[in-house]
Amino acid sequence: MLYIALFILGLFVLGYAAIAWAITYHIQTYAVKGDLSGFMLGIFVFLSAGLLLALVFFFLHVPWTSFGSLQSLEVFPLGAFQ
């Protein structure tokens, strides 16, 4: 379960990084010089770093050893898929 979660988390972080890179590139390339785009870009990068730190913090505080099987997740009540 941990490896599946790490894989999905990795895909999420890579996708977020790709979108963040695209936004950063387009703002730096096509924005009018002298406007507030640089300030807004700084806020975006700062908030993204904070969200990434929160994501890592909460991911590390999940008790992964308690998720041994799908039955322990109680997703399927009354043993529907046993």
- Decide: 48 and 20 in contact? Cβ < 8 Å: yes
pLDDT for the residue 68? 58
Is the residue at 76 inside a domain?
no
pLDDT higher at 11 or 70: 11
Is the residue at 21 inside a domain?
yes
Is the residue at 18 inside a domain?
yes
Q: What is the pTM of this model?
A: 0.59
pLDDT in tens, 7-49: 888 898 899 889 988 888 888 788 777 777 778 778 888 998 8
> What residue type is 58 in one-letter code?
F
Measure CA 73 to chain center.
22
Q: Identify the domain containing residue 13 by its residue range.
A: 2-60
